[in-house]
Structure 1
């Protein structure tokens, strides 16, 4: 995990030509976009669970159901 964070840090610094403030702005912007995407998915009902394990079970079951419905429709 630490290695991945170091790699992300290096990538943002390179994209910002070594400017730490710009790198932080870019990272924050990306994080905010990711949060907005997840928030939209939650508000549309794509993601609902009280615990991560519940979410994994729910998404797994729903995905299997969707895949089965698509296969039956072909």
Structure 2
């Protein structure tokens, strides 16, 4: 069914959506979609950089050589 729509059908659908929701509502929606895409791309980039940094640290032999205090704050204060 969707293969039979064509350019005229898509234009008609766009006009109906514009009439139903209004230009302002559609602009806000597209802005939110844009923000979501930007946040997704940023997340992918950050995770890719984190993976690369982890691999670099593992290859150089420095991964896991520093000690970290993971004691909860309450226990550290009582000690």
- Judge same fold: TM > 0.5, yes or no: no
Q: Which has the higher contact order (CA 8 A, sep 6+)?
A: 1
| Structure of larger gyration radius | 2
TM-score class normalised by the smaller sequence: 0.3 to 0.5
Scaled by the length of structure 2, the TM-score of the pair is 0.38
